[in-house]
Amino acid sequence: MFNNVYQGRRVLVTGHTGFKGSWLTAWLLSLGARVAGYSNGIPTQPAHFVVAGLGDRITDLRGDVRDRAQLVGAVREFAPEIVFHLAAQALVRASYDDPAGTFEANMLGTLNILEAVRATPSVRAVVCITSDKCYRNDEWVWGYRERDHLGGDDPYSASKGCAEIIAHSYFTSFFKNGPACATTRAGNVIGGGDWAADRIVPDCARAWAEGNPVQIRSPWATRPWQHVLEPLSGYLWLGAELFAGRQEPFPLSGEAYNFGPAADVNNTVAEVVDALAVHWPGFSGVMDRDGQAGRKECTLLKLCCDKALACLRWKATLTFEETIRYTAEWYRAFYRPEGSKVPQDMLAFTLGQIAAYVTVAEHRGLAWTK
């Protein structure tokens, strides 16, 4: 898998305590990597990082990515060979409450990790994860391509567009002769262990676990939903190919890549709730609520992933139904069936879902499974 690049490698994950970062950390451990994480704390309660017990299995570093001196020192001391940068303020609505903090975390954090890479000769590959929200959203029906306009009306989207510009500048100005670097863009990621505020799946899990109806806003908004393991497979495959220095048939370093589901995968928020409910017996129904005036969120934003297919031979693995089933089963295992008194081993369950996902990808002939 991933050409066995990660076995025994020193890999740094910033934002490792977050939803995507913790799943990436678990997957890297299963691949035999020596992982260090850098984060300013636990972002939610509960948190996937905590319930999976990942802190005892890695070098768990704490610090603010906005503090350049501390970050540079930590990276130099660990001396990673591969870096995945995920640390960020990741919520659109939270960016309205703290726009300055959002810009600082997402722009300065990117700047500082790239400065740390400049100061650390051991680094051979860097993957900077931004967001599909980095694109200027013109509400068109076709997918955004990597060369489309960056930007955004809300502070979160604008900060991610800025992070992309910063990364491209560093790639062009400082890293042409190494390390190999790229940015990635993905969004609408769901899966077990996400407890962030104002996201429909965590809202359902919290409410239904307590026997309450879930409140939803924008039920008819359409999104190209994908399981968390989908973009992570792309990040890991890209990181492996960058580390290997692959140049043919397309050079990878210095580029940006979209990772998302097939173009025909688009479902409404209401359809997600209904699909989750199928796997959650005894759910308590739904209740609409109005969005907050003046806080714009896009009704449609999807990505064109043709470049990832052409350059990396990457495409999504799971159907919408499989994505929902994986997600619901993780939360059901965590909250436990009624009457169960034995806590589930959530690291084992997480690794089991990764293994099941890999098996499906192998059967469907995905390139990264080799």
> In the structure, what pLDDT confidence band is assigned to residue 298 with cuts at 50, 70 and 90?
low
How far is residue 13's CA from residue 4's CA, in Å, rounded to a whole number? 18
Is the pLDDT at 294 greater than 80? The verdict is no
> In the structure, what pLDDT confidence band is assigned to residue 140 with cuts at 50, 70 and 90?
confident
Is the pLDDT at 346 greater than 70? The verdict is yes
Neighbour-count burial for 87-116, b at 16+ CB within 10 Å, e otherwise? bbbbbbbbbbeebeebbbbbbbbbbbbbbb
Give the Å distances, CA to CA, from 354 to 142, 239, 358: 31, 18, 6
Predicted local confidence at residue 289, as pLDDT: 55
Average pLDDT, stretch 38-60?
A: 97
* Of the candidates 139, 161, 148, 84, the residue with the CA atom closest to the CA atom of residue 299: 139
Is the pLDDT at 256 greater than 60? The verdict is yes
Is the pLDDT at 249 greater than 90? The verdict is no
Percent of the chain exceeding pLDDT 90 equals 79
Is the pLDDT at 335 greater than 80? The verdict is yes
Predicted local confidence at residue 340, as pLDDT: 58
Is the pLDDT at 265 greater than 90? The verdict is no
Predicted local confidence at residue 219, as pLDDT: 86
> In the structure, what pLDDT confidence band is assigned to residue 295 with cuts at 50, 70 and 90?
very low
Predicted local confidence at residue 281, as pLDDT: 77
Predicted local confidence at residue 209, as pLDDT: 86
> In the structure, what pLDDT confidence band is assigned to residue 300 with cuts at 50, 70 and 90?
low
The model's pLDDT over 10-34, given as tens digits with 9 standing for 90+, comes to 999 999 999 999 999 999 999 999 9
How far is residue 82's CA from residue 15's CA, in Å, rounded to a whole number? 15
How far is residue 130's CA from residue 54's CA, in Å, rounded to a whole number? 23
> In the structure, what pLDDT confidence band is assigned to residue 86 with cuts at 50, 70 and 90?
very high
pLDDT mean across residues, the chain: 92
Peptide linkage before 46 cis (omega within 30 of 0): yes
Is the pLDDT at 101 greater than 80? The verdict is yes
Q: Which two tokens stand for residue 155?
A: 């502070």
The pairing of beta strand 82-85 with beta strand 125-129: parallel
Q: Which domains does the chain have, with CATH numbers?
A: 2-270+275-369 (3.40.50.720)
Q: Which two tokens stand for residue 301?
A: 């934003």
Is the pLDDT at 284 greater than 90? The verdict is no
> In the structure, what pLDDT confidence band is assigned to residue 292 with cuts at 50, 70 and 90?
very low
Is the pLDDT at 184 greater than 90? The verdict is yes
Average pLDDT, stretch 340-361?
A: 90
How far is residue 135's CA from residue 362's CA, in Å, rounded to a whole number? 32
Give the Å distances, CA to CA, from 101 to 94, 106, 185: 10, 8, 21
How far is residue 18's CA from residue 129's CA, in Å, rounded to a whole number? 13
Predicted local confidence at residue 139, as pLDDT: 77
Is the pLDDT at 297 greater than 70? The verdict is no
Predicted local confidence at residue 37, as pLDDT: 98
Q: In this structure, what DSSP letter does residue 291 have? A: P
| 151 and 132 Cβ atoms separated by less than 8 Å | no
> pTM of this prediction?
0.95
Average pLDDT, stretch 320-340?
A: 87
